[in-house]
Each structure stands twice: as structure tokens, then as C-alpha cells.
Structure 1
Amino acid sequence: MPTASIRYAGHLRTEATHVASGNTILTDAPLDNHGRGEAFSPTDLVSAALGSCMMTIMGIVAERHGLNLTGTTFDVTKHMAAAPRRISQIDVQFRLPAALDAKQRTLLENAARTCPVALSLNPEIRQEVQFDYSL
């Protein structure tokens, strides 16, 4: 069974449906590449997927070790290169609970950096990941 079924809606927009759940995601080409910029661009989704994957794997590790990550937030910033147009760098900045000790922090940071998306991206894409323990 496919993971997603995608339909081109015209005007540089796609609608992707997650087959198992029926959830949908729209994409638009970005403003700087002939699009309307009214939804995630495909490269925005790649960047968001990196942060979401990192957080998911940290969540799995946290549950396994009885750690509470409630309230953790993160921002993702994508940097594009030209000729060829591609993602050159993705910055992920996590804000996690201050109560985590040094051993727990190391465990979570290693989990984030070894998530499946991080390991799947082309090594030419720089992944700058910061962990702020101030929540």
C-alpha cells in the first residue's frame, strides 16, 4: 500500500493524502520560485520533517527513560542555495526543560542527531541543531 497519494491541483499546488489516516497536506511553490507561498513548499516539508523526526525520536527515548518533555518546542529554519536550487542548510533550535541533567541531555541530543530523517538527508545539507535547556 502506498504511503501517500498526491494530486496536482494546478497553479504549482499539490494535495498529498496520507493513505492510512486520510490526513492531507497542501504544498505551494514558494513566492521566490513562481508560487503563491500559501502553504508549505516541498522543501519546507523536508525541513519540518527533520525537526519533527528529531522530536519524535527524543520523545521515544524520553518515554523509555521516564523523562518528561512536555512543553518542549522547536523552530526550524531552511536555507536555500542556488544553481542548483536546493536546501543547503537546516537549523533546528529546541527549547527543552531545564530540569534535565547532563546524562539525560546527552541521551536526547544523540537521539535527535540519529533520527531516520537526519540520517537520510544528503550529507551536503548542513544540519545545525541547538538545544536550549531553559524551560
Structure 2
Amino acid sequence: MLFGKKKEKVHFNPGNRDDGVDENFVEETVNKIDEDDVEVVLKNEENIDKKFSGNNSLSKYMELGRIMVSMLKDVKNGRYKNIPWFTIATVVMALLYVLNPMDIVPDFIPGVGYIDDVAVLTMGVGWIESDLHRYLDWRLENDLGI
């Protein structure tokens, strides 16, 4: 059991979004995420941070990555419990993609290497935006800051 939570099977429902995403692919991928994947993300927090830190135009995404990792840590430590499995799995899936240097557009290609990373992170954040806002509100209410 992940962080004391039962992993429920996810049925992807992005609402009325028409972003061209194959819903079956998302469901299959998210349902494959397990506790080991979460640990990989948490152990690579510094690498995720470094990925976007060299470019000022990507600083927004660096901050999103920090918030997502912080949320995973708070869930793991039992401090934050108001989170569905889909959100945990989406965060992990997006951050694992960011960590992968040989993705659709390899990161070493100057100027365009991070386009796919930013796209995947943005899409993931779009799916879980309300959960991220709830988490940030919880952080503020508990005076934990980010």
C-alpha cells in the first residue's frame, strides 16, 4: 500500500478537455505507477530541480516541480492525506518523464530539448490543478510555506 493508502484503479476523465490525449494510454500508464516509482522521484529531487534551473524561462516549471515533490513528501510522511491516487500517479508520471534524458525530444538538443518535458509537466498539472491548489492552501493553513 502506497503511503498507507489503497491504490485504486484510475479511470481517466479530464472533463471537457480536448487536448488530443489518448485516454486509454493515460489510464494504462497511471495504473502502472507504483511505490517504487514514487521513491525514484523522491530520490531524484535534486536532478529534477537541476533540469530546469539553468534557464530563467523555465523557472516556473522548476517551481512546479518543487511543489509536486513537496506534495509527495508530505503524503509519504503522512502529513497530507487529502489526495487521490490519480494525483500521486500523475505527479510521479510527469516527473519521471522529466528525469528521462532520452525522451521524445532528447534534452541535449539545444533550444528545443526541454519542449516535451515542459509539455508533459504542463499537461499533468492541468489534470491535477485543483488538487495542487488544495495542497497549497493546506500548506498555507498549516503555515508550512513552500
TM-score with structure 1 length normalisation?
0.29
More strand by share: 1
- More RCO (CA 8 Å, sep 6+): 2
More helix by share: 2
